[in-house]
Amino acid sequence: MPPEMKLHTISKLHICENCLYVHKYECNSEKRCKECNKKHNTLLHDVYITKAANNASPANMTTTTSKSQGTKPHVQSNHVAGNDEEILLATIKMQVRAADGSYIILRALLDQGSQTSLISENAAQRLGLKRQNFNASVTGIGTSPNKSRGKVLLHCKSLSTDYAFSTEALIMSKVINCLPVTSFENKNWPHIQHLQLADPEYNISKPIDILLDAKVYAEIIMDGLLKGSPCQPIAQQTQMGWILSGSTTKTFNCYFTINNIEDICNYWEMEDISEHERSLTLEEQFCEDYYVKTTKRLSSGVYEVRLPMKKGFERQLGNSKLKAVAQFKQLERKLGKRSAAM
């Protein structure tokens, strides 16, 4: 199915987006998308990529209102769209050789400030490469040390040329958060129109599989450098394609909300705890009085509470006392043996 049809189908059939089953309660599956490691099924990855791109398009910045039904009071709440600055970091897409000889396209971040290359556990498992035992701690500014889960040798090559390189990478549970922080509209900057970008989807917030260190950066960097007008990123030529970095203008979506005040008031009235105490039944009052009379605190600090029994309970127990006592003694012996073993 195309992404739109997938979204319509799972919505119509009330299918869980993570495990693709129908259940009433919160999904307990620990599986994640193999592409982005988010909480949805891998088969629905293209759905979320399409949604992210559509949410970033100018068409979604229009607002629509509907006529209110009846005479119920409404309040309109607007979060107006505005501009802010997004700092682009140099990301690239490249082919990485898997254990079976095939190549998988992964997304990487070029980091001049890193002394070692990193790869996420998810990406390492997708590649299926043999890992070496390697104990190391990776730290960053203001973060606690994270221990590596081994080391692998990566064979990487460009998507558009024959250029290839190899590097060792430490395996980490997670490399970095999604970049950019939020998706934004694809900009038609004049100075990059004719360029072969290393990451054509630089504007879509997606996971980073690999972090390439300063050594790799120095190997693949080339002389080409293009600058646009202010608030436009710099384009740098590399063996993997042109990378973008620097500040850019990001456009936020505009949200329009209509709240029905009467329904909200009714909700809070239903949820509100009544200030008036209701009268207790005879059985409830008996329990209250019984607990007040019989509850006491021992010298050890433990509270001792007697169980309230209904009147005439002896006649309703029947001949179950012998069985109950036998089960109690069996449980007592079992707990005694467990206590002795500890």
Region 175-181 average pLDDT: 85
Reported confidence tier of residue 246, pLDDT bands at 50, 70, 90: confident
| The model scores a pTM over 0.75 | no
Residue 77 reports pLDDT greater than 60: no
If DSSP states are collapsed to H, E and C, what string results for the chain? CCHHHHHHHHHHCCCCCCCCCCCCCCCCCCCCCCCCCCCCCHHHHHHHHHHHHHHCCHHHHCCCCCCCCCCCCEEEEEECCCEEEEEECCEEEEEEECCCCCEEEEEEEECCCCCCEEEEHHHHHHHCCCCECCCCEECCCCCCCEECCCEEEEEEECCCCCCEEEEEEEEECCCCCCECCCCCCCCCCHHHCCCCECCCCCCCCECCCEEECHHHHHHHEEEEEECCCCCCCEEEEECCEEEEEEEEEEECCCEEEEEEHHHHHHHHHHHCCCCCCCCCCHHHHHHHHHHHHHCEECCCCCEECCCCCCCCHHHHHCCCHHHHHHHHHHHHHHHHHHHHHC
Predicted local distance difference test score (pLDDT) of residue 149: 84
pLDDT top residue among 89 and 52? 89
Segment 277-321, tens digit of pLDDT? 668 888 888 888 888 899 998 888 888 988 888 878 777 777 888
- Give domain limits for the chain: 1-55, 85-251, 281-313
Residue 62 reports pLDDT greater than 80: no
Predicted local distance difference test score (pLDDT) of residue 108: 93
Lowest mean pLDDT among 108-112, 251-255, 265-269: 251-255
CATH 2.40.70.10 fits 85-251, yes or no: yes
